[in-house]
Amino acid sequence: MKKSILILLMTSALAWAGNYPLETCVVSGEKLGEMGKPYVFVYEGTEVKLCCEKCRAKFDKNPAKYLAKLATKPGN
Ligand SMILES: [Zn+2]
């Protein structure tokens, strides 16, 4: 019983990580993880990853602009 819950948690964690369409910060365009741990938050139900916490302030000034980048996957 305990084991199956653990597997379920691991599977959902993998799915969560695999769903993010971009490898770069939508604000700065920097590759995620290059400046340290990405800054991750959820904005109106959408997961957003930024290269650093400073980019959050810029995101908040114009969220629609940056969310649009997130919705447009490169190569689609
Ligand atoms: Zn940044």
Per residue in 17-47, pLDDT (tens digit) is 557 889 999 999 999 988 689 999 999 999 9
Cα(20) to centroid(ligand 1), Å: 17
Around Cβ 30, how many Cβ atoms within 10 Å?
15
17 contacts: CB under 8 Å, gap ≥ 6 = none
Q: What pLDDT was estimated at residue 7?
A: 66
Cα(10) to centroid(ligand 1), Å: 28
Residue with the bigger pLDDT between 35 and 53: it is 53
Cα(25) to centroid(ligand 1), Å: 7
Cα(14) to centroid(ligand 1), Å: 24
Q: Are 49 and 32 in contact (CB under 8 A)?
A: yes
Residue with the bigger pLDDT between 75 and 53: it is 53
Q: What pLDDT was estimated at residue 36?
A: 83
pLDDT value at 72 more than 80: no
Cα(37) to centroid(ligand 1), Å: 11
Architecture of the CATH domain 21-76: Roll (2.30)
